[in-house]
Amino acid sequence: MRPHSQRLWPLILLVACNRPEPPAPDVVARVGDQEVRYSEFEEYVARTAGDSDGVLASDVLSQLFDQFLDEKVLVRMAGDRGLLRSAGRGPRNAIDALLRKDGEEEPAEEEIARYYERRRQDFVRPERVRLRQILTDDRATAEKALQRLAAGDDFIEVARQLSRDPSAQTGGYQGELSREDLPPAFADVIFSLKPGEASRIVPADYGFHIFQVIDRPPAGVVPLEDAREEIVERLRQERADRHLAELVREGRTQYNVEVHGRNLPFNYKGSYL
């Protein structure tokens, strides 16, 4: 048996020599040939999640760890493409430079029109009111304002003279508001008014209101031309999100990212497994 055992020793030694060394206890991942240490992740959590009361759950930490590694991958990719120097300091700048590298074309008019037709429900606006108000500190002043309005005085002038609201100099103008923009107690009063009509005195914890509805734009769909700027911004964001996801997928494959789950002080359940 001894000669056979002696023949096995060289093979055992060869296998032992070729076995990769385990990572250092503080190394939690590898991106290509770069080791990633847990202290770097702690800095990322502090920067991203801020001060947190209590301990974050494992699923939350797993999600943050995936985002952290995605950032590492993208910064590595930006560096390999020679973009770090032009991007300046910070991972966010490097990622922005990576997204801008191929240039971004503005959405075509046909694409904007298709989006508008597909998402028309997003541009439905409820009935609104264009509103003025008088706000006073005491009921006596509110009663005086109401008497002047009943006598035919102009709401704008009464607001300028008696209202303590910051809008007094503009005649109490509050803008265009939907029912959802108003406290329920105010909405019921305001939406019962006809255009040009002033309300009764409406008390509140901080004073006394009198409202006037200027007019009531009906519910309807915002025209394409008025919605165009919002649609362009949405399309830009969607395009950037898709491009970012493609870059992450490419980087994960290119750099053969490894996670050393045993060195993490939480139960990692992320997408890098």
Q: Where in the chain is the domain with CATH 3.10.50.40?
A: 127-218
Are the C-beta atoms of residues 192 and 179 closer than 8 Å to each other? no
| Phi and psi based region of residue 2 (left: phi greater than 0; alpha: psi -120 to 50; beta: remaining) | alpha
pLDDT of residue 15: 47
Give me the pLDDT at residue 1, please.
46
Burial of residue 154 (CB within 10 Å: 0-12, 13-18, 19+) is exposed
Q: What distance in Å separates the CA atoms of residue 69 and residue 264, rounded to the nearest whole number?
A: 14
Nearest in space to 265 (alpha carbons), one of 37, 8, 38: 38
Question: pTM score, two decimals?
Answer: 0.59
Nearest 5°: the CA angle 186, 192, 193 is 100
pLDDT of residue 123: 93
Cβ within 8 Å of residue 153, ≥6 positions away: none
Each residue's pLDDT, cut to its tens digit, for the chain (273 residues) gives 455 555 555 554 454 455 556 778 899 999 999 999 999 999 999 888 775 555 789 999 999 999 999 999 998 998 888 887 755 567 778 788 777 755 567 889 999 999 999 999 999 989 999 999 999 999 999 999 999 999 999 999 999 999 999 999 999 999 999 999 999 989 999 999 999 999 999 999 999 999 999 999 988 999 999 999 999 999 988 988 888 999 999 999 999 999 999 999 999 999 998
Match 């008014």 to its residue by tokens: 193
107 contacts 235 by C-beta, under 8 angstroms:
yes
User: Which long-range contacts does 99-103 make (Cβ < 8 Å, 24+ apart)?
Assistant: 99/240, 99/243, 99/244, 99/247, 102/243
Look at the domain 127-218 and name its fold: Chitinase A; domain 3 (3.10.50)
pLDDT for the residue numbered 78: 87
Predicted local confidence at residue 2, as pLDDT: 53
